[in-house]
Amino acid sequence: MIDRAATMAEDKAVPTGIRYDALRILGTDTFKRSGPILVKYLAKGIDSELQLGSVHALTDIEDNVVPETIICNFPSLSCKADATRGLLRTQARVNALLDAVEGERISASSLSSESITELQRNESNETRSRAKSLFGADNTAASPK
């Protein structure tokens, strides 16, 4: 099934909606095997539906390389909110997101107020403190302090 999904995702003759579904299926695979296909769909100018399928699939894959992959491609994503939600799934991904904002690899202004609030209410005291330092304690700031 994974091989068939990979073939369909890459076939431009297949309708976009079906290619989206095929990309989503690749999220059940390993990054080593399906990651290279998914990463191709993160590039600037890729159809937004296909990019969304790739982001969702990547965030379903449990691999330490996923957060960095999303962060490196974040500027070209048309689905930044979905990518951010994927980075909020685990504490390790949250830390990678905060590191990226602190390092100005991801603009704080590209995060939704809901995402900022979630960071500020994280279960980790350290994460809450970092988020409040970056975004302000009252979540009215859209850029790092």
User: What is the tens place of the pLDDT at every residue in 8-30?
Assistant: 999 999 999 999 999 999 999 99
Region 54-72: mean pLDDT is 97
**44: pLDDT strictly greater than 80:** yes
Q: pTM here?
A: 0.89
**136: pLDDT strictly greater than 70:** yes
Digit-coded pLDDT (tens) for 77-111? 999 999 999 999 999 999 999 999 999 999 999 99
How many Cα atoms are found within 13 Å in the side-chain-facing hemisphere of 46?
26
Residue-by-residue DSSP string for 90-138: SHHHHHHHHHHHHTTSS-GGGS-HHHHHHHHT-S-HHHHHHHHHHH-TT
